[in-house]
Structure 1
């Protein structure tokens, strides 16, 4: 829950901004009160703390003195072809506590594992997912462009169901990264949780899109959820380079980034009732971890890919982290 200081700060900022914009005390009071009522009426409470801790701090495979969870990004895309059954198995063999898996859908509505909107980067195929049926995807080779493709020949694009069953068998925590399709994703995940109740205590649903998390909580408020965020994501790429050459577009999206960041930290997390906040590693600090701890929210850092960084997160910050490799240093995937 927000602390009292947060409540006062939030509504004070809204009141002052609206007052300066409208110069109407009446309208300012009405709009600020409306925001308060909206949050009171439509926000979701956080999942029970005991359940969130089981998911985020499982006893199995925890590293470091603080029981830090090490989560394989896309199943550990450096050690095996990303988002495949082979990646899940390799992650378990290499000591991961859990795996982060990307949920997408074929054109005929089958829930599958895939990070991109097209199959070009990871498979021997080409084209958008939205135009490919599951039977067509099943014929592709998801190991085709991986550095260890010879070792993992014969892999197929897995269904969400297949991946979940493998994770349950290996006792891995699952971080479901939902790329979009809030209604379809919520329905698919609800069916999975109904079929495999163990997921309530061994998985978390994450997304960059707050509407996805809100829809998930509407569909099943017992599910542990998280928002994923990278500051300046609208105006800059993951490596920091500007997205737009146009100066006015860059400044406009920078302003939107400021507003989005403020919303994540002061409104959206509370509205969705999240239990964790997944944040790009460069923005994690002891003060930042403490900020969220005071609100009953765990910080998970991504993507942590060097041994020095891993030691820092495990031993100093004692926060969970997501990594592309459990075996060696590698370049980050944003």
Structure 2
């Protein structure tokens, strides 16, 4: 029996994007605390590998945008990444914020009873390797938890590796288009949901995906009226950066 038929969907309808949305430097432990403080009970974040295979939180392939360093993340060891400032780009308040490890965020979210969407964000040519290591770590660190994380990725190769490594962890396909064969891909990866670019959604598409047996999560919804519309159409979850206006109270 497929995961979509056996998994009980318990995730909140509002999810803080990259931890703290616009309010804190993305993918840092400070961002996770910020999302929690703003009342979100589910946080989304990106995980990739350092050169020496430490699982860290980062979105981009390079460190340029979100740190005071330059260059490819895949070319830097964890020690080198740890020497960079991942907060100053956001605001003076967060200057000195270090890169977050996957382990530190796993500990924080579990201790505070928070759900997670873990996005596998592999560096180029490390898709399978990253999928395996992220899934192995999640399986180990959430082994005794009743709040299983949702594993997602744009990379079909990474998601397939996670499926093979830890099939018990629920998965969602991340996509910015809706290919004709998307149901087939969801079935092959034994997903429970599709995380889809919000501009692609209308009421008919949400109904179609639901009829196929999958949940619909929309990214990234920062407009209050659009958030209300998607929720009224039955969207199962929304990712948002706008923690002040698109709030859990809406759901």
Shared fold per TM-score greater than 0.5: yes
More moved, 303-312 vs 120-129: 303-312
Paired residue secondary structure (1:261): coil
1:76 pairs with 2:20: yes
- 2:249 matched residue in structure 1: none
Aligned residues: 242
Q: How does 1:67-106 map to 2 (within 5 A)?
A: 69-106=13-50
Residue of structure 1 aligned with 2:215, choices 282, 298, 318: 298
Q: How does 1:253-272 map to 2 (within 5 A)?
A: 261-265=179-183, 267-272=184-189
- 1:108 matched residue in structure 2: 52
CA contact (8 A) 1:84 1:158 kept: yes
Find the aligned partners of 1:157 and 1:75 in 2 and give their Cα distance. Answer: 13
Whose Rg is larger?
1
Find the aligned partners of 1:120 and 1:320 in 2 and give their Cα distance. Answer: 31
Residue of structure 2 aligned with 1:183, choices 116, 126, 129: 129
Structure 2: gaps (5+ residues): 247-251
- 1:21 matched residue in structure 2: none
Cα shift readout 1:233-272 (whole Å, capped 9, x = no counterpart): xxxxxxxxxxxxxxxxxxxxxxxxxxx812323x211111
- 1:204 matched residue in structure 2: 150
Q: CA deviation at 1:107?
A: 0.7
Q: CA deviation at 1:112?
A: 0.2
Find the aligned partners of 1:104 and 1:200 in 2 and give their Cα distance. Answer: 25
Cα 1:218–1:110 change in 2 (3 A) is: same
Residue of structure 2 aligned with 1:311, choices 216, 228, 240: 228
Paired residue secondary structure (2:32): helix
More moved, 319-328 vs 184-193: 184-193
Residue of structure 2 aligned with 1:140, choices 71, 74, 84: 84
Q: CA deviation at 1:199?
A: 5.1
Residue of structure 2 aligned with 1:169, choices 85, 98, 111: 111
Cα shift readout 1:75-118 (whole Å, capped 9, x = no counterpart): 13311000001110110111213111101111111000000010
What's the TM-score once normalised by structure 1's chain length?
A: 0.68
- 2:162 matched residue in structure 1: 216
CA contact (8 A) 1:51 1:201 kept: no
Structure 1: gaps (5+ residues): 1-44, 57-61, 63-68, 232-259, 330-334
What's the TM-score once normalised by structure 2's chain length?
A: 0.89
Paired residue secondary structure (1:141): coil
Indicate the structure with greater helix content: 1
Residue of structure 2 aligned with 1:275, choices 192, 195, 219: 192
CA contact (8 A) 2:134 2:162 kept: no
- 1:326 matched residue in structure 2: 243
1:125 pairs with 2:69: yes
Cα shift readout 1:31-80 (whole Å, capped 9, x = no counterpart): xxxxxxxxxxxxxx5326453412x3xxxxx4xxxxxx211111133110
Cα 1:272–1:50 change in 2 (3 A) is: closer
Cα shift readout 1:95-147 (whole Å, capped 9, x = no counterpart): 2131111011111110000000100001011110111110111111111211x
- 2:7 matched residue in structure 1: 51
CA contact (8 A) 1:77 1:83 kept: no
Q: CA deviation at 1:328?
A: 4.3
